[in-house]
Structure 1
Amino acid sequence: MSFNALVLAGSRGGVDPLAAYAGVSDKALIVIDGETMLARVIGALRAAGAARIAVSANAPAVRAEALRLDAEPIDAAAGPSRSTLLGLEALGAPLLVTTADHALLRPEWIADFRADTPADANVAALLARRALIVRDAPPTRRTYLRFADGGWSGCNLFLLQTPAAAAALRLWMAVEQDRKRPWRIVRRLGPATLLRYVTGRLTLDAALARLGAQVGVRAAAVAARHGLAAVDVDTPADLDLVRTLVARG
C-alpha cells in the first residue's frame, strides 16, 4: 500500500543551541556529509516509496529547502503533536511521520517498520530496545522508558495507519509536555496500571494497549531491528556522533 509522509521540522523559537553550534539558522539545515539533515530524511522517505512528502515548518529557510527538495511545506503548529494532526488532516492516512533530525534514517528501516506493524493497528510507534542501541551505537545517550520487558527508546518514526489515529494524536497533545518524564506519562494509565509499572510488571505492549483503549484506538509498539534507528540529533554530542557514523559509511 502506498503511503504519504510528514517530516516535522518546526522550531521552538529563539536561538537553537544546536543550530548555533553548527553555524546555521535552523536545526533542519545542519549539513552532514554535504547534505542538510532535511535532505537526508526526505531522500530516505522517497527511496522507501513515499508518494507525497510534506514538511511541517514555519522558518522561511526550512520551507525554501523543502521546496528545493520537491517536498510540500505546510504550517507547523505550537508542538509536534498538533503539527502531526494538521499533517494527517492535509495528507490523510496511512501517514508515516518522522523528524528532520533523524539524519541516519534509512529506507530499509521504514520498510521494516511498515511490514512489522500489525494490520489492525490504528497507530504504531517504532521503539528500540536498550541492548540493541548499546550494541549498535555505544556512545549515544538516550531517554529510556523502563518496562517489565526492558528499557525502550523512541525512534522518531510513527505510522498513522487509519484516520482513527487522530484520537491518539489528541492524547499525545495531552502528554507531550511530559515526554522526557516517563513517570508522569505512565501515571495517566490509572492506579492499577501504575501499580504494575511501579512493581516492574508492566510491559510496553500493555502500556500502549491501555493508552489506546482510553481513546478507542489500537496502538502498537513495533520493535526496531536496528539500534541506530533510535539515534537522532538533539545535542552537539549527537551531531558529532552522527557525523562520525556517516563518515565511516
Structure 2
Amino acid sequence: MADFVHITRARSARRIQRSGIAARSAGHAGGRGVYCMPVLPSFTLTYQWVRELRRWHSGVLVAVHLRLPDDEPVTVGHYGAPPRAVTAAQAVAAVRRLDDPRGCEVFVPRAVTTAEVRRIRDVPQGVGWRYLPGAHGRRPCPCPACLPRGARNVARLRRRFPYNDPPRPKGELMAQLRTAGTADEIIDVLWELGRGRRGGAEELAYLVDHPDPHVRDTLNDALRAYRGREARRLRARLQLTEVSASTSKSC
C-alpha cells in the first residue's frame, strides 16, 4: 500500500471523514480527481504544498493522510510539466528518487473513499514554499498572473517591485515632445503622457491638427488622463477633425 497526503481546508474535515474526498480537481488530461503528495522522510517536503495553497484557500488547512493500493493508476510529475501515468507505488518511488522533489504532485483520477482515509492531522500553516520552489530570496514577479488582485500583501509587493517602470515626470516628457521629429516619436511620448493623471492640456493643442491620423488618435487617448475644461475642448476638436477628414475622403 502507498501512503499519500492531501491538503485541504479544515472545515472540510468532517465531510471527508463521513464521505471521503470528492473528485473536484481538474487533471492535466481534463478528468476530475484528487491531488496529493507521497509521504516522504522529510516533514517539510511531505507537507510542502501548505504554504502555497494558503494563497488560494482562506482559513486553516489540514493534512488528510490516505492509503492507496500499490497498483492504483495515478499520474506524477512537476506541476509545471506534463505528468506521466504510473501506479501509486511507482509514483512514490519516482518522487523519493528525486534530489529536489519540491513542486511534485500526484493526481488520483477518481474520488478517495472513507476506507482509504487513514487520519486527518493539523499542520503548521507556514511549512513549504510559496509562489514557486526556491523563490525565497528572489525578486517576486508582480505580473497579474503571479500576483492576482486581492491576494495577501499584493499592494505592498507591487509598491516594492512595480510591474511597469515608474512614469517619467511631465516636464521631461514635454521637453522630449518638443524635440520629436517623427510621428512615431510623438506617439511614444503621448502614450507615456497618458499613463498618469495630468493637467495643462493646452500644451498639446498644437497637435490637434497634426496631419498623421495615428498621432491624433493617440492624442485623443492621452487626453483622457487630463482634467479640466481644456482637455474636454481639445477632444471635441479632435472629433470634429475626424468627421471632417472622413467627409473629405467620401467626397
Give the TM bin, normalised by the shorter chain: under 0.3
Higher relative contact order (CA 8 A, sep 6+): 1
TM-score by length of 2: 0.21
Bigger Rg over Cα: 2
TM-score with structure 1 length normalisation?
0.22
More helix by share: 1
